[in-house]
Amino acid sequence: MSESFSFQQLFEAFTERLAAVVFYAFNVDGVAVPLVVIWLICGALVFTGYLGFINIRGFAHALRLIRRPSAAKTPGEISPFSALTTALSGTVGTGNIAGVAVAISLGGPGATFWMIVAGLLGMSTKFVECTLAVKYRQLNADGSVSGGPMYYIKAALDKYQLPLLGTILAVFFSIAVIFGSAGFVHVNQGFVQVKTVTGFDNAWLFGIIYALLVGAVIIGGIKSIARVTSKLVPLMCAIYLIAAFVVIGHHLPQIPAALMLIVHSAFAPDAAYGGFIGVLIQGFRRAAYSNEAGIGSSPIAHAAAKTKDPVSQGFVGLLEPFIDTVVICSITALVIILSGAYQSNVLDGVQITSSAFASVISWFPLVLMVALLLFGFSTVISWSYYGLTGWRYIVGHDPRLTTLYKILFCMMVSMGAVPDIMAVFDFIDSMIFLMAIPNILALYLLLPEVKADLAAYWQRQLSQPSARIKPL
């Protein structure tokens, strides 16, 4: 037995046990329903209803806000738009390409419908998270910002006279985000695509080169990451969507039938996909992995935004699930369904998506390889900042310890190409969903504050002559 094979077996055994604990499920009509997914769904439903469907009525206002420049002396490190692109770079990635394929292959075409529903509901969750991240952030003496769920988790429990529990849950979240920041999935899927397209088969060399490139960016901190993502995210989204529209255009006559299949399968799915509950859970689980609404990762980036009003950044944040899931994931799903690639029994993950594009554009696997590498790279550098924030919350801001984290992070990235896809997904899923437990709890506790702040914000906006919004 080779050393690499032993490592893979050990990794798979560990992730299998971890996933069993995190995704503890109860049985409904023969389908395992993970409690943590129900936790996220219930949170999104409560936030949407309690805030009067802020995901819908605040959408146009959010679009206007991202076009406004930040004032020169506004507290924060990066612009609201840069915060959005940094957060998007952490969500728009492998989940949109490989994750959608996994969801459809396991849950059938109907999973697409529930991904869209989850994306729309997740907009409300993002609004609450990002508002609180800015409200409870800490402005450091050097002008830098420390913020994220660990700070408002502590604040929430302190308000309810439970400071010790607040400290424990904040540290728990920080530990989870440190381990969840490992870029295994993105490095792994990038290597799979490179291997498929070019035949290159040295996982360790690929991982080392990837880690060196990541290190070159993250050494400059959030400002360096934001500079890269603010240019990379719009470019890579444009490339990917243009190619997707070419494939969709090729199948133009089949689009109505595909849409009917999606809706029909969402409510009357094939028993092979686990019935209604199975399709719904696959859609919600993969959407949660893709847009991370309720997980608590994106608020860390939004906390660094240059803004004086927490609610305004909450509006900017609610655009994330819409772009990530409602737009990009839905288009990916439509490409996969129109091509029929999801019916393959021999392809897995990104290979399904690659096959779907290649059915129309024979050379597209090369373009997808570049897109996947860019998507994955941007996700990894954003998550490095999330993990660093958790690290600093626990050990402090000593520059030597910060450097140590960055070295350890790059070492983990270098190993990401080795494990197989399902073991990698199980590991990352487990860590990021662990983050949701204390995060959603804090959102519930602070929700009345958010509603009051939102009402005050609407009134301030209405007092402006050019106001176009109406309070509920």
For 258, the enclosing helix (H) or strand (E) is: helix 255-267
Q: 31 — phi, psi (to 5°)?
A: -110, 130
For 139, the enclosing helix (H) or strand (E) is: strand 138-139
Give the pLDDT confidence score for residue 273 in this predicted structure: 61
Structure tokens at 11: 């990794």
Structural domains in the chain (count): 1
Quick one: CA torsion of 382, 384, 386, 390, rounded to 10 degrees?
A: -170
Distances (CA, A) of 176 to 299, 386, 414, 415: 15, 10, 20, 19
- 101 found inside a domain: yes
- 89 found inside a domain: yes
Q: 450 and 50 in contact (C-beta within 8 Å)?
A: no
Structure tokens at 92: 């728009």
Give the pLDDT confidence score for residue 4 in this predicted structure: 47
- 469 found inside a domain: no
pLDDT in tens, the chain (472 residues): 444 455 556 656 666 666 666 666 666 666 667 787 888 889 999 999 999 999 999 999 998 888 776 655 677 777 888 888 888 877 776 667 777 877 787 778 888 888 888 889 999 999 999 999 999 998 877 677 888 999 999 999 999 999 999 999 999 999 989 888 876 677 777 777 787 777 787 878 888 888 888 888 888 777 777 777 777 778 878 888 888 888 888 888 889 998 898 888 888 766 556 566 667 777 777 777 777 888 888 899 899 888 888 999 999 999 988 988 888 888 888 888 888 877 776 666 667 877 888 777 777 777 777 777 887 888 888 888 899 999 999 988 888 888 898 888 888 888 777 755 556 667 677 777 889 999 999 999 999 999 999 999 988 877 775 555 544 4
Helical residues (DSSP H) of 76-183, grouped into ranges: 80-91, 94, 100-107, 110-135, 149-159, 163-180
HSE, CB side, 13 Å, CA atoms: give it for residue 133: 37
SS3 224: helix
Q: What is the DSSP letter of 343?
A: G
- What CA–CA distance (Å, rounded) separates 232 from 221? 17
Q: 202: domain range?
A: 3-462
Q: What is the DSSP letter of 96?
A: I
Q: What is the DSSP string of 279-308?
A: HHHHHHHHHHHHH-TTTSSHHHHHTTB--S
- What CA–CA distance (Å, rounded) separates 333 from 311? 33
- 163 found inside a domain: yes
Q: Which residues contact 247 (CB under 8 A, 6 or more apart)?
A: 335, 338, 339, 356, 357, 359, 360, 361
- 122 found inside a domain: yes
* Whether the model pTM is above 0.75: yes
Q: How far is CA 250 from the centre of its chain?
A: 30
Give the pLDDT confidence score for residue 18 in this predicted structure: 64
- 334 found inside a domain: yes
- What CA–CA distance (Å, rounded) separates 287 from 113? 10
For 221, the enclosing helix (H) or strand (E) is: helix 221-250
- What CA–CA distance (Å, rounded) separates 412 from 215? 12
Using alpha carbons, select from 130, 104, 366 the residue that is nearest to residue 258: 104
Give the pLDDT confidence score for residue 354 in this predicted structure: 76
- What CA–CA distance (Å, rounded) separates 146 from 138? 5
Quick one: CA torsion of 331, 337, 338, 344, rounded to 10 degrees?
A: 130
Q: 131 and 118 in contact (C-beta within 8 Å)?
A: no
Q: 164 — phi, psi (to 5°)?
A: -65, -45
- What CA–CA distance (Å, rounded) separates 273 from 129? 33
Give the pLDDT confidence score for residue 55 in this predicted structure: 92
Give the pLDDT confidence score for residue 21 in this predicted structure: 62
Using alpha carbons, select from 377, 405, 381, 425 the residue that is nearest to residue 206: 377
HSE, CB side, 13 Å, CA atoms: give it for residue 104: 36
Give the pLDDT confidence score for residue 167 in this predicted structure: 93
Q: 146 and 402 in contact (C-beta within 8 Å)?
A: no
- 467 found inside a domain: no
- What CA–CA distance (Å, rounded) separates 68 from 63? 10
CATH number reported for the structural domain that contains residue 408 in this entry: 1.20.1740.10
- 210 found inside a domain: yes
